[in-house]
Every structure is written in C-alpha cells, then in structure tokens.
Chains A and B, each alone.
Chain A
Amino acid sequence: MRSIISKLVGSVRSLLADPVRMFGLVSVVLVLLLAVAPAKDHFSEWHHYQQQYRRLIAKRSDAATLQRHFVGGVRQVWLPQVGVVDRCESCHSGLTEASLTDVPQPFRTHPPIPHGLDEFGCVICHRGQGAATTVAEAHDSKLAHQEPILPARFVESSCGQCHHAALMGTPKLNRGREMLARYGCVRCHTVKLPDGSTMTATDDPPPLTHIADKTSREWIYAWLKDPKSYAGSATMPNFHLSDDDARDISAFLIAASTPQPEDTATLPAAALKAAADPSGGASLYGESFCASCHAMQNAAGDLTGGNVGPELTRIGTKVKPEWLVGWLRDPRHYDEKTQMPRYRWTDQQVALLAGFLENKTDSDLLSNVQLAPATAAQIKHGRSLVIEYGCAACHEIPGIKRPENFAPELSRVGSKPLEQIVFADDVPHTLPDYLAGKLREPRAFGPGLRMPDYGFSHTQLEALTTALLSLTDRSFTLPQSLQVATTAASSYVPAGHAGKLMMEMNCQACHRINGRGGDMAPDLSWEGSSVQRAWLDDFLKNPNTLRPALIRRMPRFNMTDAERAELTDYIMTVYQSPVLDRDTPLTSSPELIDKGRQLFYSKYACQSCHIVDAQRDKGYIGPPLTQVGSRLTAVWIEHWLQNPQALRPGTLEPNQKIPEDEAQALTAFLMAQRGGRATGTSKQEAKR
C-alpha cells in the first residue's frame, strides 16, 4: 500500500519537475475538462428522451416529416413579456406534432386548446418549473417556494388567471366561482381580482331583524345545530356548535329581534276556513310556478324545483302561520331586498297557499328540542358568540355591525407558499390537497378555527378548489392587456311609477333588462320593439304558455287593469331597440307569402323546431308560431331571421345568414300566421 503511494508521489514529482511533461499533463487535463460538458449532455435525462423519441418516430410512416421537424438539444420557449422560460419541449418533443396522438408520454401531442405553445408556454397553465431540465425538478419540485405541476383535473384554474368571466370551456371553474359567490364565501373572505374589482356574493341570507316574528327559538336552535336536518339543500353551513352555544345564540337572536312595523296579516275568518282545502293550495302552488324558485321533496323523496328561494319541504315546522300570511301578501314588508315577487293574491288565495305550506311539516325536527326560558347571562354569551362566529357578515342582526376583513383575504390563495401552510395529518403536502382538505374539514388544520362546515360533495370540492387555485400571483403580474374582464355589473333599475311596480313583482329576478337581472327568462331590454301591444297586454293578464315544453314559466301576477296598462305602456315605450322601428310597414303579397312558405318548409325546414300548422308540424324546440303574426312585429321577425344572436345573444336558433329578400318573404309568411287572434282563447290555450 505504502509503496503504491510513494510510487505515485514519485511520478507526480517527476512530471512537475519537467516543463514539457508539465505542459503535456495540463493539456490532457484540459481536454478531459472540455469533454465534461458534452459528456454531461450525453448522459442527461433530456438526451435520453430525445434518443427515445428518435427511435419512436423512425418506425412510423410519417417519419420523414417528424424527423424534419425535430430539433435536438435543450429546447426552450422564451416569452419575456409574460415571464416564461419553458424547457419542457426538450423532453416533450412531440408537443406540436398533430399526428402523435397515440404514442406514450412524454412524446404525445398536446390536445388542441385555444392558445398556442408560442403564446404562453407551458407553466402558465400547468405550473411546475419551466427552466428545469430534469423530470424530478420540473414536475415535482419539493422546494417550498416553488410550484410543482398542477394535477390535470385542476388545469381549468389556469384559464381563470386571465379570464374572469364564465367561459364555455371551463365548466368546473365557472361552477367554483359561482359557489364562492353563492355560498357567501366572499362575505367573510375578500377576493380582489386583477381588474380592480372585488368578488361579490350572490346569495340572499335573510335579515334577522324581525326573526322572532317569523319563527320560534326552538327552530333556530335546531337550524343552528344542523341546517341540513331541516333542508338538505341549505346553503347555511354547520358551525358544529355545542348544545349550550346553540341555546345561547338562539336566546340572543330572539331577544335582539324587533317587532315588524304594523302587520296587516289578519285575514277574514271565511278566507282562513278555505285553507282547509289542501288540493286547492297545491294547485295554486303549481299555477303560480313557485317551483321555479323553490324546491320541495316529492313523495319519492326527490328534491324538485329551483334554488333561488329556500327549500320548502318542512316550511310548516319553521314559520309562524301569521308571518307566512303576511309574507305571501307582501314579502317586501318583511325583507326589502328579497327576490320573492309580490303576487297580489286575493286573501282567499293567500289563505289557501298558507294552509298548504303550513301542512309541510316534520314532527321529528323539533321533538327533542326543550329550551328553558333564556337568562340574561345566556343572551349576553349568545351575543359574544354571534360576534365571534361572524354571523353578521351574512345576516343583518340588530345591534351588531357587519365585521370587516373577518377572514383571511383569498385574492392570491392559489399561489400560497407551502411554507406558510400548516398541514393536517394525512393530507399530502400540495396546495390543491390543502385547499380541498380545508374545505372538506375546515377545522382539522388547527385548534380554534372558526370556519364552518359546508358539507360539500366531492364534485363541489373539486370545483371550489379549481376556483381558488385560479387566484394566483401570476394573474396580477401578467400584462394587463391579457386580462379578460368580467362584463361590468349594471345597476339598472326601472324608473318611475311603473318601475316601482316592476320592482314589486321583481321582474329582474328572472328577466335581464339593460344588463341587470336573472337568466331564467328572456331579456326584455328590447321587448317593446319585439312584440305587439295587444299581445303583451294579453300576456300579462294571462301568461299563457309560449313554450309548453318549459317547466319554469311566467306566473300570473294578478295586476289590476290600470296597473297592467301602465306596465304595458312602459315596456312598449321604454324598452326599444335603437335600430329597429316598430312601426316599419310590412311588405306583403300573396306571392311573397307563398315564397315564404316554400322557404319555411323546404329550404330552411323551420318546421323541425317550430309549429306553424298545428295539424302537420311537430317541431318542439322553438316557440310555436301559429299566432306569431299577432305576437311579434314585422321588423323584429325580419331582423331576427337575418341574425338572431344580434337581437338576443346566446339564443339557440342558428344564424343561417338568410339573405334580405328571403327574410322578407319569410316575414310575410309568418306575419300571415294569426291563428284567429291571440286573445288567450286559441286552440292551444283551450287544450291546456
């Protein structure tokens, strides 16, 4: 052993002693050092993948094309304006080769999406470390300040970094965002968007100002303990309150409640007696299309109906009969901001409906709730709990201010560094897992947390997580020019006396007008250019079914003749299109009508969706046109035929680019379809 070392030392000494030998040695070392770089490249991961790729394409019938496209070495996309240096293409060699759909990863082509690789690179959508040249570093960076690859099922969140309005291609993201607004998340958590706006809630939590008039303390207790036991569809979360806490909060809410200003709910005795007829109440419930907004469990236990208003399956156990009567008469008397329209029912109808709803009870719900009269200490404790849990962030509560910045801001939660997160046991250390876990069990991540439990389903969790992951740092740092803003919220409210009438009936709960309102029913912004006055007046008197296939339909609001005339005049005068003149005369002749008929039945085959001749046509998608000549204006029909989406964006009828002369002929034909007169006594109406 020693001899080897001494020999080595000896030879080194002799090398160093001689300048020529020394030069030779340095040269050899230099050559070896120079060889390190190519060798490193040769044994690198990406080179290995590129070799594999070349072997793969060599066997294919389109090898020549693929080989021509292939460029070796470290490949990168550099986009300084969006801050992208992505070397993913070094291994993912076939990303832009449309034919490589059936090869294994990492060589498969990217599925078609609306953006190109040269526009945004890879990491803006997929996250990960773009500059890395090894798989482990690029995909699964474990460094806390870096981002690993985003699991594919959350990739829609990346679209949300620039697109702040709903997109057809991102259903999960849209749904998650809707949930953030609908479940009141944004009432406690501020979410600021890069365009400077702040997300607003779309839910409608009732004010608790007069709660004692509406319901009992026992019901409040049961509701606080578990909202889902009262209504499976409840959006109110479960705060997992102890029995004592629920007792004290209910005591406080009842004590804080103030009586409603003068209530006119007393009904004539005869009308109340009529309430004994449950079938009458049920049919009034159906006729009034209450189910468009309210859900109810049917006999089979399925929940049917809309989710605009609260579920009514057990409403009789909740509300006091006198409150219900007052509410049905005039909901705004109790809650100014309610979406519920004032139906103008007669006293007898109110009694019928109230009787029907009062029978919707669940005797089990309150059977175990026994509350002793509240003490002052309980009420005081209840008040402090209400403040602690931030109840006033959603509900109006007398004497309690709405808390500001009650919960952490979520504007950039999608880039939350992992080192700032305290993970619960069994939760993988990634951001999506943290977010989903937090939403599933909000209090599992530490003691003293107050976030309530929403009982979200798996699909809901995925959607919400996607929406939260879209709130990234990058969405703020990307150039402003890339931001696709939400459509500006309109605050349009109809004016004047007729406007007040419309607010009372809450037309905009279903109809959008001038950019504000629901999407359950047609946009009315240009209704005055579209329909004829007589038809509208008739329709408001008796909203017969324009589209019999629809489940949600316009209810009857029982207006007086004067009110109806006023509303009709208002709609006809105010809601007009700037480009259509309602009074444009109709060009018509028997020849034109005949040409129109031919076009209708042969060239455009409109009968596949519409009915003109009730005996022969069967199309059931668009509205029946048997009386369209007494319903719509000629100028509306003619423009509609040429471009339906210009008059009503998003309407189903395809734009067939019908030329003007053909549109004129079709209009003449359609305007001749008067089906008697639209007086509400037509054949169709009689059938119903």
Chain B
Amino acid sequence: MKRYAGIALLIGLGVVAGCRRHPAAETGPKPTAYGAAVVESSGGKQVGEPGGALPQPLVVQVNDAQGNALPGAVVRFAGGSDVAFSPAAVLTDSSGQATTTATLGDTPGRYTLTASTPDAAGKAISLQLTELVAGYQEQLGERLNAVYCSRCHNAESTPQQVSNYDNLDVKPHTFTDGDTMNKLSDSDLTALISHGGPALNRSALMPAYGTTLNKAEVQALIAYIRLVSDPPFERTGVHYGKQ
C-alpha cells in the first residue's frame, strides 16, 4: 500500500514541477550599447486591418544621453497577446534606428505598442505607439471618406487629389481633430452628415448627404471618425467596468 502512495506522490510532484512556468528569459540579440531615450521615427498611428501586418514598418530611434543616435542598442517591441512583431527584438543600426513589422490582432480598435530599451543600469526606457485596426464598419467609413469627405476635410493637396480645403471660406474640421470631433455626439454627427451644416447652425458649405448615403454608411463614417480621432474618442454615458 505504502509503495503505491509513494509512487503516486512522486508522479504528483513530477506533474507539479512540469507545470511550473519557466521565468521568461530575455531573448534576442545582445546589445553593445545602452541608450538614454527612445523616440519614434515613423510608423505610429497607422490604420491596419484585423489580423494583418501594418502597411508601414515601425521605426524607432535610440538616443544616448547627449541626444545622439546610438547604434547597437537593443529595442524590444511588445503589445498585447494578439500582437506579433517580426522581429520582436532588434539592434539599432548605424543610424540608431530599429525597424520591425507589427501584425495586430483580429479585433478592431486601438492598440498600444511599446518599444523599450534597457539603459546602462538595466532599467527599461520605453516608448508607447498607438496603432489602429479598422473593422468592417471603419474600413467602409474610410472608403466613403476618401470618396465624399476628404476632398474638403483633408487639407493635404496632392496632384492626384487636389484638396478643396483652401477654397472654402469656413474651414472644415479634419477628422483627426479629436478636440473638436469628440465634442460632437453620434447623433450630432448623424444630423450634420444627413442634413448638412445648417442642421446644427453650422456652415451651409457642408451639404446634406442623407439621401446619397444610407443609414449604415453614415454610421460607418462616424465609426471611422471615432477611430482616427486624436486624442482618442471616449464614449460618455455608461462607464463600463466601473461600478
């Protein structure tokens, strides 16, 4: 009887030991230098698709205490469990820059990614990057925006698409202008898009699109506006998760 108990105990211990997690080892290339700051070079605030790689790579730069670009420092990229980086740890190149490609999760919304590098004392200095994933609605909104809205609401003019922004006496708001757009409720935006500027005592230069676009398309546009707004749009009213 005792023998069996002993064997069972041994097996049990073995199972427990096997299940214990190994501490996450610091993997990746070995740094030859330690920086004092991480700054973004490019690749922030992109709009990607669910489960897809972002269109542009993320590029961050590591600087030393004097603010000069530092080659040979290691930069580790991290995000949620559904974010993947290729590669996740990079040594900065001769111009102090580390480049990676990020693949975001399947869920639309805002993703906060972190790029961090250890300083000489081994403490991590990090930089946060915000990336967006557009779901079906936001993607549809993005396309409607490109067709109907961006010609006036985007001040940037290119030979392919000349902007009408400068020609308007009352300047339209760009959709990234969160300070203004976030103050408008969903029903305000619906009224503005469907019935034109005068619906909210604004400029008649904004025409009514309520007949041209259907309800779902107006909602899609609003979803897109909410996605790209900076600072981010926070839904007011019910605060979820806080009782």
Q: Quick one: closest A residue to B148, CB to CB?
A: A652
Q: Is A113 a contact of B51 with CB atoms below 8 Å?
A: no
Q: Of B107, B144, B241, which is within 8 A of A105 by CB?
A: B107
B159 in contact (CB, < 8 A): yes
Q: Of B143, B162, B166, B208, which is within 8 A of A168 by CB?
A: B143
Q: Of B49, B108, B148, B241, which is within 8 A of A111 by CB?
A: B108
Stretch from B18-26, B120-128, B133-141, B180-188 forming part of the interface with A: B133-141
In the bound complex, how far is the Cα of B144 from the Cα of A652, in angstroms? 11
Q: Quick one: closest B residue to A617, CB to CB?
A: B167
Q: Is A61 a contact of B242 with CB atoms below 8 Å?
A: yes
B32 in contact (CB, < 8 A): no
Instruction: With both chains docked as a complex, state the minimum distance between the C-beta of B39 and any C-beta of chain A, in angstroms.
Output: 28
Q: Is B107 a contact of A108 with CB atoms below 8 Å?
A: yes
Q: Is B203 a contact of A605 with CB atoms below 8 Å?
A: yes
Residues of B near A114 (CB, < 8 A) are: 216
B164 in contact (CB, < 8 A): yes
Residues of A near B139 (CB, < 8 A) are: 169, 171
Interface string of B199-243 (1 = CB under 8 A from A): 000011111110110001001000100000000000000111111
Residue among B164, B209, B216 with max Cβ neighbours from chain A (10 Å): B164
Residues of B near A618 (CB, < 8 A) are: 166-168
In the bound complex, how far is the Cα of B144 from the Cα of A619, in angstroms? 20
Q: Is B240 a contact of A654 with CB atoms below 8 Å?
A: no
A59 in contact (CB, < 8 A): yes
Q: Check A608/B240 contact, CB under 8 A, given A114-B216, A654-B207.
A: no
B12 in contact (CB, < 8 A): no
Q: Is A62 a contact of B238 with CB atoms below 8 Å?
A: yes
Residues of A near B168 (CB, < 8 A) are: 608, 618-619
A153 in contact (CB, < 8 A): yes
B106 in contact (CB, < 8 A): yes
Residues of A near B206 (CB, < 8 A) are: 608
Q: Is B164 a contact of A609 with CB atoms below 8 Å?
A: yes
Residues of B near A168 (CB, < 8 A) are: 140, 143-144
Residues of A near B143 (CB, < 8 A) are: 168-169, 171
Interface string of B94-126 (1 = CB under 8 A from A): 000000000000111100000000000000000
B147 in contact (CB, < 8 A): yes
Q: Of B109, B140, B208, which is within 8 A of A169 by CB?
A: B140
Residues of B near A608 (CB, < 8 A) are: 152, 164, 167-168, 205-207
Q: Is B209 a contact of A111 with CB atoms below 8 Å?
A: no
A551 in contact (CB, < 8 A): yes
Q: Check A153/B167 contact, CB under 8 A, given A60-B241, A608-B207.
A: no
Residues of A near B51 (CB, < 8 A) are: 151-153
Instruction: With both chains docked as a complex, state the minimum distance between the C-beta of B102 and any C-beta of chain A, in angstroms.
Output: 14
Q: Check A152/B164 contact, CB under 8 A, given A111-B136, A652-B147.
A: no
Q: Of B52, B164, B208, which is within 8 A of A620 by CB?
A: B164
B160 in contact (CB, < 8 A): yes
Q: Quick one: closest B residue to A618, CB to CB?
A: B167
In the bound complex, how far is the Cα of B166 from the Cα of A620, in angstroms? 10
Q: Quick one: closest A residue to B147, CB to CB?
A: A652
Residues of A near B241 (CB, < 8 A) are: 59-60, 102
Instruction: With both chains docked as a complex, state the minimum distance between the C-beta of A170 and any C-beta of chain B, in angstroms.
Output: 9
Residues of B near A101 (CB, < 8 A) are: 109
B88 in contact (CB, < 8 A): no
Residues of A near B107 (CB, < 8 A) are: 105, 108
Interface string of B43-83 (1 = CB under 8 A from A): 00000011111000000000000000000000000000000
Q: Quick one: closest A residue to B235, CB to CB?
A: A101
User: Interface size on A (CB < 8 Å)?
Assistant: 43
Instruction: With both chains docked as a complex, state the minimum distance between the C-beta of A66 and any C-beta of chain B, in angstroms.
Output: 10
Q: Check A153/B238 contact, CB under 8 A, given A59-B243, A112-B137.
A: no
Q: Is B212 a contact of A645 with CB atoms below 8 Å?
A: yes
Q: Is A603 a contact of B147 with CB atoms below 8 Å?
A: no
Q: Is B211 a contact of A654 with CB atoms below 8 Å?
A: yes
Q: Quick one: closest A residue to B166, CB to CB?
A: A618
A621 in contact (CB, < 8 A): yes
Residues of A near B106 (CB, < 8 A) are: 151-152
In the bound complex, how far is the Cα of B159 from the Cα of A61, in angstroms? 51
CB under 8 Å from chain B, chain A span 532-561: 549, 551
Residues of B near A605 (CB, < 8 A) are: 203-205, 207
Q: Is A153 a contact of B49 with CB atoms below 8 Å?
A: yes
In the bound complex, how far is the Cα of B211 from the Cα of A535, in angstroms? 32
CB under 8 Å from chain A, chain B span 135-184: 135-137, 139-140, 143-144, 147-148, 151-152, 159-160, 162, 164, 166-168
Q: Quick one: closest B residue to A650, CB to CB?
A: B147
In the bound complex, how far is the Cα of B177 from the Cα of A579, in angstroms? 46
Q: Quick one: closest B residue to A619, CB to CB?
A: B167
In the bound complex, how far is the Cα of B53 from the Cα of A153, in angstroms? 10
A480 in contact (CB, < 8 A): no
Residues of B near A655 (CB, < 8 A) are: 211-212
Q: Check A620/B136 contact, CB under 8 A, given A605-B207, A654-B209.
A: no
A602 in contact (CB, < 8 A): yes
Instruction: With both chains docked as a complex, state the minimum distance between the C-beta of B44 and any C-beta of chain A, in angstroms.
Output: 21
In the bound complex, how far is the Cα of B197 from the Cα of A602, in angstroms? 12
CB under 8 Å from chain B, chain A span 617-644: 618-621
Instruction: With both chains docked as a complex, state the minimum distance between the C-beta of A306 and any C-beta of chain B, in angstroms.
Output: 12
In the bound complex, how far is the Cα of B48 from the Cα of A153, in angstroms? 10
Q: Of A152, A620, A654, which is within 8 A of B167 by CB?
A: A620
A68 in contact (CB, < 8 A): no
Q: Quick one: closest A residue to B105, CB to CB?
A: A152
**4 closest Cβ pairs, A-B complex:** A618-B167, A605-B204, A152-B106, A152-B51
14 A-B pairs whose Cβ atoms sit less than 8 Å apart in the complex: A61-B243, A105-B107, A111-B135, A111-B136, A112-B216, A169-B143, A171-B143, A604-B207, A608-B164, A608-B207, A652-B147, A654-B211, A654-B212, A657-B211
Given contacts A61-B240, A105-B107, A654-B211, 5 further A-B contacts (CB under 8 A): A111-B136, A169-B136, A605-B204, A620-B162, A654-B208
Interface residues of B (CB under 8 A from A): 49-53, 106-109, 135-137, 139-140, 143-144, 147-148, 151-152, 159-160, 162, 164, 166-168, 196, 203-209, 211-212, 216, 219, 223, 238-243
